[in-house]
Amino acid sequence: MSEINDKQDLLNNLQLLIEQTYSVENEYKNLRKSYDDLILILNEVIEIIPSAIWLLNNDEIVFKNNLANEELFKQINTNNEHYELEFNDDFYQIKCIKYHQKTLILATNITTEKRNERLVSMGQVAASLAHEIRNPIGSISLLADVLAAKISYEQKHIVIQMKDAIKRVERNITSILLFTKELKLSTSIFNAKELSAECFKIFFSYNQNKELEFSCNFSNVMIKADKALMLIVLSNLIYNACDELAESKGQIKINAKKNKDFYLISVFDSAKEITNTKNLFNAFSTTKLKGNGLGLALSKQIINAHKGELFYKNNPKAFCIKLPLN
């Protein structure tokens, strides 16, 4: 009888052990799932952080996120705890945190902040200079008109060149003052075809190249926009195209048509395509001998104020404006 009781106790203990094993296994599975979920969340958080991250153990990389660039890492001085680094035309805030044998490196791209700081400083200086220049330029323009009435026909080309130069300065002053102030739209509803005649005037008043062909085709669509500011945008795009083709044969063509819920204006030119578009719409950035680098930046600012989009595309080369119709 005692032997039977002992066997029964053994079976009961085994049963209890099995149940406890199952319980421990379930707890382990739950803990494992919680751990995996935590690691997943941690990795997602690390990837969301707008910084390149490296974790080093004895100078060996044991972890890095998707923003961690190998070429950038080579430029980082881990002996410097907190500093700014310029790399490939971008600026980075570098932080190196050391703990025992481990080093955590964070590289945050601050290019936009640095550029905005520069823009504020440059904009303030430019606006001040523009105000100072505006009055004497106005006087020179009046004197040029007086001079044109008094000189011989053979010499009038000199005054014409002088007035063209004055117009360029006045246009630059207007661009600077518009760019440094908050844009206020004065919208109205008008037929887009009205822009066509104005574009021809802009082209023929600016272009000096007799080998350059110009065509303009705006479809018959009513749009709501600030007409004066839209003409500034179109002027800038036409001027840029003329400058690109100043000494060669070529074509400038403007096509505009309704496309679903937006109006698309495309300014094509036959000049060489632009390969480096990184800073294309950045203020005070230009590869031309003429201009101040504000034309495209101001144009984008104007189109953004219309809740539209200004972008560049190749094949064929064109600057495109998308204006919402609603």
Confidence category of residue 114, pLDDT binned at 50, 70, 90: confident
Cα pseudo-dihedral 64, 65, 71, 75, rounded to 10: -70
The CA distances from residue 5 to 9, 17, 54, 55, 317, in Å, are 6, 18, 64, 61, 95
Q: Each residue of 223-251: pLDDT tens digit?
A: 999 998 999 999 999 988 998 888 888 99
In the predicted structure, residue 48 carries a pLDDT above the cut 80: no
* Mean pLDDT, residues 147-162: 81
As a whole number of angstroms, the distance between CA 131 and CA 177 comes to 8
| Sign (positive or negative) of CA dihedral 301, 307, 312, 316 | negative
Confidence category of residue 293, pLDDT binned at 50, 70, 90: low
Helices (H), the chain: 2-48, 70-75, 111-150, 156-180, 194-206, 227-244, 295-305
What is the predicted pLDDT for the residue at 230? Answer: 93
What is the predicted pLDDT for the residue at 130? Answer: 72
Reported residue count of the chain is 326
In the predicted structure, residue 292 carries a pLDDT above the cut 60: no
Instruction: Report pTM.
Output: 0.58
Bridge-based pairing of strands 262-269 and 90-99 is unpaired
| Sign (positive or negative) of CA dihedral 266, 267, 271, 273 | negative
